[in-house]
Amino acid sequence: MLDTWVPVERRWFGLDRATIAPALVVLGLAGVLAIVVPSIDHAISGGERVRAGDVVVLEGGVEFTPAVGWELTDGILRGEQPRAAGSSTARVVNGPVTLSVRTGRFPGTPAALLEQIKKTTDALHGKHGLHVTGPAAPIQARGGESGVIARYRGTSADGALAAFVVNGTGVEFAVTGPPNMSHGLTPQVTEMITSVGAGPEGRR
C-alpha cells in the first residue's frame, strides 16, 4: 500500500501530477474519436491542398509527411511554424478518409500508449461508439522508430489507431473512414504514418 501513496505536494485535484500530462494526451485523442470524428462532414473544406515537399511540424520535435493532394485542415507546415515549435495536433482529409495526429509527452512505450488510448476510449464510449478490435501489430517508421497499430470499428466509422514514442514524445495517429471501408490501409495512409520521426528540433 505504501508504494501506491502519492505525497500531497505531488497531487493536483487529487491526481498524481506525474500522470497528468500522459493522461491529457490520451484524453485528447479519445476526445477526437468520441466527438470530432463522428461529426466530420465528408465535404469538409477550408484547408490547404498538400503539395510535394510539404512536411507537418508537431510539438515535441516530431514531424510527418502528408500525402500530396490531401487537404490540411489542421496543423503547421515546416517553414510556417512560430519560433518555438509546431502544433500538438494535425489533420489531413481526403474525401471520407481523415488522418488525425496528436503529440504530447509520454514516458512509456508505444504499446503502453495504445493501451491507454484503448482503455480511455472504451470508458468514454461504453458499449457504443468506436472500439479497438483485434490485437495490435508492430509497425516501423521509415526513420527506424517502432510503433504499434490496431484496427477499430464503430457504428458510424471504421479506421485504425497507431502509436509511436519519439524521444519521449507520444505520437498518436487516428485514421477514420466510413463503416465497412476496405480492409487494410491504403498505401498513402501507410506512407503518412510511417513517415513520422524526429525533425531538426527533435534531433538536438
* pLDDT for residue 13: 33
First vs last C-alpha separation in the chain: 41
Measured CA distances, 92 to 47, 56, 146, 183 (Å): 9, 10, 23, 20
pLDDT greater than 60 at residue 25 = no
Instruction: Return the amino acid letter for 38.
Output: P
Whole-number Cα distances in Å, 178 to 21, 42, 56, 124, 156:
32, 9, 25, 21, 7
The CA distance from 101 to 93, in Å, is: 12
Mean pLDDT, residues 101-105? 94
Per-residue pLDDT at 177 exceeds 70? yes
C-alpha closest to that of 153 among 171, 139, 132: 132
Task: Pick one of 3.40.50.300, 3.40.1000.10, 3.40.50.2300, 3.40.190.10 as the CATH number of 21-198.
Answer: 3.40.1000.10
Residue 1: the pLDDT is 37
Q: Give CA–CA dist 191/186, Å, rounded.
A: 9
pLDDT on residue 128: 59
The Cα–Cα gap between 204 and 202 comes to 6
Query: Where do the domains of the chain lie?
Result: 21-198
Tell me the range of 21-25, 82-86, 171-175 where mean pLDDT is highest. 171-175
Looking at the chain, the whole-number percentage of residues with pLDDT higher than 70 is 66
Looking at residues 107-124, what average pLDDT do you find? 85
User: How high is the pLDDT of residue 126?
Assistant: 61
For residue range 60-86, list pLDDT tens digits in order.
999 999 999 999 999 999 988 665 567
Please state, in angstroms and rounded to a whole number, the distance separating the CA atoms of residues 77 and 66.
Answer: 10
Point out which residues pair with 149 in neighbouring strands.
137, 162
Answer yes or no: are the C-beta atoms of 140 and 88 closer than 8 Å: no
Mean pLDDT over the full length of the chain:
77
Q: Which of 1-5, 87-91, 117-121, 127-131: highest mean pLDDT? A: 87-91
Cβ-contact 167, 93 below 8 angstroms: no
pTM: 0.75
Task: State yes or no: pLDDT of 131 exceeds 60.
Answer: yes
The pLDDT assigned to 47 comes to: 82
* Choice among 33-42, 49-58, 154-163 with the minimum mean pLDDT: 33-42
